[in-house]
Amino acid sequence: MSARSPADGEERLILAMGGGGFTMEPTNPLLDDFVLSLTPAKEPRVLFLPTASGDTTAQINAFQARFADRLCVPEHLSLFRLADAKRPLAATVSSQDIIYVGGGSMRNLLAIWKAHGLDRLLLGAWRNGTVLAGLSAGAMCWFQGGVTRSSGPPEPMPGLGLLDGSLTVHADGEPERLPVWLASVRDGTLPGGWALDDGVGLLFAGRQLQRVVSSRPGAGAQRVDAIAGELVRHRLDPELLGDGPHGPLGGTDDAVEELRRVNRLRRGIGGGRG
């Protein structure tokens, strides 16, 4: 919403979620509110990319249901219905404070982005300080590699490489993925990295892991590396979002509540795009 200057490395934020957010936690807004808190913008522009799902209406509706009455300007970009788009891709991508990528097929996601040149635009947005967030395929895509079920059985595949290491998601929800990832890390097909349960997010500042957060008690994460052919695993304890002392939400003051009310009125309660 404001003119951007190229962000320093540490101001480049990526939140990678193993699962969670509005598509998977319709009654739990903790991760999505955390995403909104990552930008200094008072009323951030949030662009949702549902590409990995084939732009399903279900994902787009869930996005609007979560963000339409929050203090932000939500918008989605469908690469299957570009005839509806009002602006060129580059203008749409470069004008956001947050870009949020949904789950689905990682293989299709990256291939379709590449076909439209969106991979380059997203790299540019990250460099300019736009917060990148995503879950599942929309989280693994930022790393050097991940484990996808795009063709059925889980298999390793390369990502965009903005972040070092590899990522595997739904470690608790889809247990068949984890062994494939561990084997890929052990044999060097994928670099070492992180395995995330549903509800857990890794926040990177630049290429450095800054925080491990969670929307669910009990959800976990681990760091795994192959050292001399052996897997070395470290458990990470996520900070639970919401009411803890480290939570980003804290108490909202009256002014923010007032702004939210005005915002809701302006768009119409539960309304669609602004």
Query: Any idea which residues carry the catalytic annotation?
Result: 136, 170
Q: Is there binding between residue 260 and another protein (CB under 8 A)?
A: no
CA–CA distance, 263 with 219 (Å, rounded to integer): 34
Q: Is there binding between residue 105 and another protein (CB under 8 A)?
A: yes
Mask for 31-70, x = binds another protein (CB under 8 A): --------------------xxxxxx--------------
Q: Which of 8, 33, 12, 9 is nearest to 21 (CA)?
A: 33
CB of 133 to another protein, least distance (A): 21
Which stretch, 122-130, 146-154, 211-219, 228-236, contacts another protein (CB under 8 A)? 146-154
Phi and psi torsions of 193, nearest 5°? 180, -145
In the list 1, 82, 231, 232, the residue contacting another protein (rule: CB under 8 A) is 82
Number of other residues whose CB lies within 10 A of the CB of residue 224: 21
Is the Cβ–Cβ distance between 201 and 189 less than 8 Å?
no
Q: Is there binding between residue 110 and another protein (CB under 8 A)?
A: yes
Q: How many residues bind another protein (CB under 8 A)?
A: 33
Q: Is there binding between residue 179 and another protein (CB under 8 A)?
A: no
203 Cβ contact list (under 8 Å, min separation 6): 13, 14, 15, 38, 209, 210, 211, 212, 213
CB of 240 to another protein, least distance (A): 29
> 111 in helix, strand or coil?
helix
Q: Is there binding between residue 87 and another protein (CB under 8 A)?
A: yes
Which stretch, 3-11, 81-89, 138-146, 265-273, contacts another protein (CB under 8 A)? 81-89
DSSP state of 232: E
Q: At what angle do helices 118-127 and 106-116 cross, to 10 degrees?
A: 90
Could you list the residues that contact another protein (CB under 8 A)?
51-56, 78-83, 85-89, 104-105, 107-108, 110-116, 148-152
